[in-house]
Amino acid sequence: MVVVIHRVVLQQVAAVQVVVVRQQIVVIVRRMVVVIQRVVLQQVAVVRVVAVRQQIAVSAVIVRRMVVVIQRVVVVLQQVAVVQIAVVRSVMMIAQ
């Protein structure tokens, strides 16, 4: 009788230990999932920051190129204006 009771108690203790271990495993897995999610989110944030920086760098390059083009256009327009003024002066000289 004592042996039977002892076995039942041991079985119940073993069952409780299994349940406790399972719960601990579940808790550990959940924590690991949370940690992994945080790491993934941080990496996503880093990738976004890098992408934004690259976009800014690309747009800065585009702006620089546009400035160069605008400067060239201004130079050409100034040359055209000089030529036009010279033509007008020569026409006025001829008219006199």
Question: What pLDDT sits at residue 14?
Answer: 75
7 domain residue, yes or no = yes
Residue 96, pLDDT score:
67
**What is the mean pLDDT for each group of 10 consecutive residues in the chain (96 residues)?**
72 77 86 88 88 87 88 87 81 75
User: Is residue 36 in some structural domain?
Assistant: yes
- 78 belongs to a structural domain: no
pLDDT at 1: 66
Inside any domain, residue 84: no
Q: Is 87 a domain residue?
A: no
Domain membership of residue 41 (yes or no) is yes
Helix residue ranges per DSSP H, the chain: 2-95
pLDDT at 20: 79
Instruction: Answer yes or no: is 19 within a domain.
Output: yes
Domain span at residue 63 reads 1-70
Total domains, the chain:
1
- Residue 56's closest CA among 68, 48, 46? 48
Q: What is the reported pLDDT for 63?
A: 87
Half-sphere exposure for 11 (CA within 13 Å, toward CB): 6
Query: Is 76 inside any structural domain?
Result: no
